[in-house]
Structure 1
């Protein structure tokens, strides 16, 4: 993401104020009105698809001239299928039940009173994203559904695409009874930096950065209000002596299939020393045929010429492409220790036939999600269940794991007395 100067612009203050005042009305809007608005957003995106794709072509042409990395170009490129998937996500989101004001029991109880809690909106959410123009629509849908206003700050590489999507979303909201200011778009013309957005703690309640780790860390370090950090890539797989290499192959390949953002892609594989070298050779050859770039630690790179040497700095960093690095470990304890030090901490995998090993791995690895003999492939719109997911978070706390509707809510406690004193 192109980062602007750190000057504080009046434009973001105005936008933040508008979003703040809009959320006061949005928070008490009927669930049916919020759902209708999301369905209108879906229809507007579909009707504006030609204009959005034309704008995206301009962004791609400008980015190629500026030698933008291929990774960002992949994230930036919209297709009719990606837009249609976005429409389908919004349509499903609009049909889900209202997540707000659901009554829950409360641990805090007083004599002669009744206590309960309800899910409520957070307020104003800033979504700061690198490329991925369609995520603006999905994030906006999640926020509207949960009664939150949203401020969208996209990267300069996607400026035309962001403007076209923003126009479609705004026109849809204008046709509903919701406050138009609940959607705020920070465009390139505003000259507003990321730091300008993440220091408006008087009006904004949560920041969600999405993109490379450099952007995530910038927002986490500089924000003056809470940050819900997303995570992508650098997931680990541990292959035990009892594991099937065919399953290891399937898990790695399938985890990379969630394009264009391989959120839970397995990029590092820890192999137990007792695994047969012939099986590892077969695995590497199969992955190479699938277009993977393979690397290994010093011992493996020396033994297998098809593996490039992985630098020490690579074990803790995400590749964000079809690259997998292999490392030999002595035992399960060694694997758990290594993963806890170098993994991104949001999704890690064990392939084993041992139930005891799977339990030990799940207990020992300090990550949000643990997969046993299963692909960690991320799906924003899963066929089962009743939620839509924006991404994954590796931070500890009550918003760890999948970023969904409940992640964008807070709890209000209500104590109902009977007037006695």
Structure 2
């Protein structure tokens, strides 16, 4: 694709990222991993600078009365930065997915036919008040041979700028192609719409933040979009299940930091549920700082514990330590309700019935289904080789956990023998 110089700085950045993607194709896995290690060292050596910039963002956000939720997402700590460095270092060590070879699903009889994983191209991340997310995405993209365009939103301007400068300096240090990490700022007039309509250069756009941001990007984009989702996860509590399991699943699902991607916010219960057990759960959750809400039936029965739920709340995430309870007649009704109102990325069942577990697994229309297990999300899980950026609830480019493989595409190769 021929590229032309443009006075438009945003378009110039996108074109430069596209050229960098083409140049990355000539770099091997060791060079790309070296770049990720350089980014990790750069972040590790600049904690003071990053935290100073983040403090400035926090002060400005409080003066502008930014919601507490976004301030929690914005606030960096040495622990969060250490987790970022650990994740980047682990990314550098995991096996390279690029050019991994698979059997072709449609082999041709007279030729050798196979598939291999290849980079997608130019990826744009549009993210809201998670300053470290740009560095995580940069690691994912570099590992898979893609170039990345970062476009932050919200009140993390200073944090984003400092982190981006560190990353770009690290990539320049190891002589990776200029443009493999481009940074756009909304304050410089780079609108989201201008970016996400560059479909001739962009292979994928990933919006990350509140549903309003994801919806905005999805509606504006002409390039492919990978929607991320968080919150509004449902749990169906089978009436014979022990209280301790239910308590653990709910509380642990909220333990991922800083963003409660798979936090359970809605609990469906049977009319057969023992009221005294419900009260015990309400007390446990309140002691742990949760706000509790209930449908009309439950809030009338337990007015000292539950605030009535507004109808609109069932289909929207709280993204906070809030749990709403609702009575449904049975599992089938619960599944119907979940399919209508949940975000569709992670929903849960606690049961001691195998038939119930199979029904839930088969009928719930969600990307991830958890049965007698916590839905807690981790970008850098202790077990296995996979790392994750987030969770997608769409049925398109990718559904489920956003891993390294999500940043790749398949190329089918037909190798003939020269005879005809």
Tell me whether the two structures share a fold, i.e. TM-score over 0.5.
yes
1:223-238 equivalence runs, <5 A: 223-238=221-236
Deviation track 1:165-222 (CA, whole Å, cap 9, x = no partner) reads 0011001000113102100000244211111111111111100000000000111111
CA RMSD of aligned residues (A): 1.1
Judging changes above 3 Å, is the alpha-carbon distance between structure 1 residues 163 and 334 closer, same or farther for their aligned structure 2 residues? same
Contact residue 112 and residue 420 of structure 1 kept, 8 A: no
Q: Distance in 1 between matches of 2:298 and 2:42?
A: 53
User: Superposed, which structure 2 residues align to 1:21-420 within 5 Å?
Assistant: 21-305=19-303, 306-420=305-419
Q: Does the 8 A contact of 2:295 with 2:308 survive in 1?
A: yes
225-234 or 396-405, which deviates more:
396-405
* C-alpha distance in structure 2 between counterparts of 1:112 and 1:374, whole Å: 48
User: By how many angstroms is 1:373 displaced?
Assistant: 0.8
The TM-score with structure 2 as length reference comes to: 0.97
CA distance, structure 2, for counterparts of residue 28 and residue 326 of structure 1: 55
Q: CA deviation at 1:128?
A: 0.4
SS class of match (1:251): helix
Structure 2 residue runs of 5 or longer lacking an equivalent are 1-5
1:52-82 Cα deviation digits (max 9, x unpaired) = 1100001000111111110100000000110
Gaps of 5+ in 1: 1-7
Question: How far apart are the structure 2 equivalents of 1:21 and 1:308?
Answer: 56
Other structure's SS at 1:180 match:
coil
Looking at structure 2, the residues matched to 283 and 108 of structure 1 have their Cα atoms a distance apart, in angstroms, of 53
Structure 1 equivalent of residue 3 of structure 2:
none
After TM superposition, the score normalised by the length of structure 1 is 0.97
Between the aligned partners of 1:247 and 1:371, the Cα distance in structure 2 is: 13
Q: 1:298-355 CA deviation, whole Å, 9 max, x = no partner?
A: 0000000110000000000000000000000100110000000001001111011111
In the TM superposition, residue 27 of structure 1 has moved relative to its aligned partner by 2.4
The CA deviation at 1:251 is 0.7
Work out whether residues 144 and 407 of structure 2, in 8 Å CA contact, stay in contact via their aligned partners in 1.
yes
Deviation at 1:109, TM superposition (A): 2.3
